[in-house]
Amino acid sequence: MTTPHKADREVVIIGSGPAGLTAALYAARANLHPLLVEGLEAGGQLMMTTMVENWPGFRDGIMGPDLMGEMRAQAERFGTEILQGNVTSVDLKHRPFTIMLEGGRRITTTALIIATGASAKWLDIGADRKLSGRGVSTCATCDGYFFRGKPIAVVGGGDSAMEEAIYLTKFASKVTVVHRRDTLRASKIMQDKAFKNPKIEFIWDSEVIDVADLDKGEVTSIRLRNLNTGETSTLPVDGVFIAIGHTPNTSLFKGQIELDQTGYIVTNGGTRTNVPGVFAAGDVQDHIYRQAVTAAGSGCMAAIDAERYLESLPAPEIADAHPSATV
Amino acid sequence: MASENVKTFTDSNFEEETKQGVVLVDFWAEWCGPCRRIAPIVEQLASEYAGRATIGKMNVDENPNVPTSRFHVRGIPTLVVLKNGQHVDTIVGLVPKEDIVNAIERHL
């Protein structure tokens, strides 16, 4: 018999990057039979990378997609059920919490771990999105290949912008970095690498105000404005790679849990959000460290926090835990 | 674990294999992480549309002509839909399965 208080699941995890999969691993090993909803960008940001050299335990590095494949298999081995697809809405105002999936499926859960991560930012000029996949990209490792022998621009001044610029010199005839300031935010080691690269040039104090050519459906040039003088200029390029940071994937939760001014989930005392029973891990709540290993660490914390939360509840609120539970 | 329903398109067979009916082509490469996310969806679609539409993949590394010259692919994953040999739809980047289904259904 189903009472309104009985949830389908004890723990549901949204997101499948290092935070989500580590939370799943720990929750599974704690016999919580977690259900993990993968999301559209399954595997998270590491799926967009090549060699990951700062994941401890791999002295020669490991390919991002391979690392995520291993993490997924490990989480499954201990009994995590993984659902492909996207969450379309959540209700965190009533208990148990409700998760709506693509295709109209509905799941209720006593505890929820949010690990939806962050996605690359766009320029907010409209034309860049319309020409996405037609010369504008936020993923050098995905799309660099198509610009062999062609001039391209990279927008941004941080580590990821330098990494993309350096990577793209393997293909492009010339890489022009466009940055809003006159100094880079990137780490010293990345700056040195970029400055030394003969294929990389810099345009300082400038922002991209337009990307052409929408009519042709391909990139032919970008329009720049110098922020000091107000002068505009045109730079002919075949491709534009945008690396101006990330924005947390929290639109599903707006108005239901506390977010900070930039949209990140606010956590207190570990991974707790302001809604008891809802925990957040990884880049969705971290704008400071944003590393795969810190995301994984906070995923582990979220699973432990969720386990303690479930233990603290009076018995009737906890779901019937049996391994064959289906949704 | 490529499904037997998923066709493999090449520069040499493309014209012949796409000239009839509704065809979905998934442009991909080994080094493309997001392509690995689309792959299982394309395989599901190949089974679901068996007999009604042709669903196949084309490796952009191995086929330098059709993807870039005919379809101007500048990023992957890119999916295109053809009807009787005519290019009728393009989907760029990662999208939910429903969006791909809609793009096929529109032309069936």
Considering CB atoms only, which of B74, B94, B98 is closest to A146?
A: B74
For residues A92 and A110, the answer to whether their CB atoms sit within 8 Å is: no
The most confident of A45-54, A117-126, A228-237, B34-43, by mean pLDDT: A228-237
Considering CB atoms only, which of B32, B72, B98 is closest to A218?
A: B72
Longest dimension (CA), chain A: 71
Contact A137 B74 (CB under 8 A): yes
Considering CB atoms only, which of A133, A142, A219 is closest to B33?
A: A142
Residue A143, helix vs strand vs coil? helix
Segment A81-106 shows an average pLDDT of 94
Segment A150-160 shows an average pLDDT of 95
Query: Tell me, what's the pLDDT at A325?
Result: 47
Considering CB atoms only, which of B40, B72, B76 is closest to A142?
A: B76
Residues in chain B with CB shorter than 8 Å from the CB of A137 are 74-75
Q: Which amino acid, residue A288?
A: I
For residues A103 and A266, the answer to whether their CB atoms sit within 8 Å is: no
Could you say which DSSP state residue A168 is in? Answer: H
Confidence of residue B3 (pLDDT cuts 50, 70, 90): low
Q: Is the pLDDT of residue A219 over 90?
A: yes
Residues in chain B with CB shorter than 8 Å from the CB of A219 are 74
- Percent of chain B residues topping a pLDDT of 90: 69
CA proximity to A115, closest of A30, A233, A216, A26: A26
Could you say which DSSP state residue A59 is in? Answer: T
CA proximity to A240, closest of A316, A159, A172: A172
Residues in chain A with CB shorter than 8 Å from the CB of B92 are 132-134
Question: DSSP readout, A6-38?
Answer: --SEEEEEE--SHHHHHHHHHHHHTT---EEE-
Query: Tell me, what's the pLDDT at A242?
Result: 96
Query: Tell me, what's the pLDDT at B2?
Result: 53
Pick the residue with more confidence: A277 or A86? A277
Kindly state the tokens that stand for B70. 């005919």
**Nearby residues of A279 by Cβ (< 8 Å), 6 or more positions away:** A111, A112, A113, A114, A267, A270, A271, A272, A273, A302, A305, A306, A309
Residues in chain A with CB shorter than 8 Å from the CB of B62 are none
Q: Does B32 touch chain A (CB under 8 A)?
A: yes
Residue A308, helix vs strand vs coil? helix
Q: Is the pLDDT of residue B27 over 70?
A: yes
Question: DSSP readout, B76-95?
Answer: SSEEEEEETTEEEEEEES--
Q: Is the pLDDT of residue A327 over 70?
A: no
Other Cβ atoms less than 10 A from the Cβ of A127: the count is 20
For residues B93 and A237, the answer to whether their CB atoms sit within 8 Å is: no
**What does the alpha-carbon distance between residue B61 and residue A245 come to, in Å, rounded to a whole number?**
29
* Active-site hit among B35, B46, B76, B103: B35
Q: Does B64 touch chain A (CB under 8 A)?
A: no
Comparing A100-104, A124-128, A260-264, the range with the smallest average pLDDT is A124-128
For residue B35, indicate whether it is catalytic: yes
Contact A133 B97 (CB under 8 A): no
Q: Does B92 touch chain A (CB under 8 A)?
A: yes
Kindly state the tokens that stand for A186. 């990137």
Kindly state the tokens that stand for A87. 């969450």
Contact A48 B33 (CB under 8 A): yes
Q: What is the mean pLDDT of chain A?
A: 92
pLDDT tens for B67-95 read: 988 998 988 889 999 999 999 999 988 88
pLDDT tens for A265-297 read: 999 989 999 999 999 999 999 988 889 999 999
* Active-site hit among A60, A91, A128, A139: A139
Query: Tell me, what's the pLDDT at A319?
Result: 53
pTM over 0.80: no
Question: DSSP readout, A187-227?
Answer: -HHHHHHHHH-TTEEEE-SEEEEEEE-TTTTS--EEEEEET
Question: Is the ipTM above a cut-off of 0.85?
Answer: no
Question: DSSP readout, B19-88?
Answer: SSSEEEEEEE-TT-HHHHHHHHHHHHHHHHTTTTSEEEEEETTT--SIIIIIT---SSSEEEEEETTEEE
Contact B34 A142 (CB under 8 A): yes
pLDDT tens for A227-260 read: 999 999 999 999 999 999 899 999 999 999 999 9
C-alpha of A179 from chain center: 23
Q: Which residue of B has its CA nearest to A68?
A: B33
Q: Is the pLDDT of residue B105 over 80?
A: yes
For residues B17 and B56, the answer to whether their CB atoms sit within 8 Å is: yes
Q: Is the pLDDT of residue A12 over 70?
A: yes
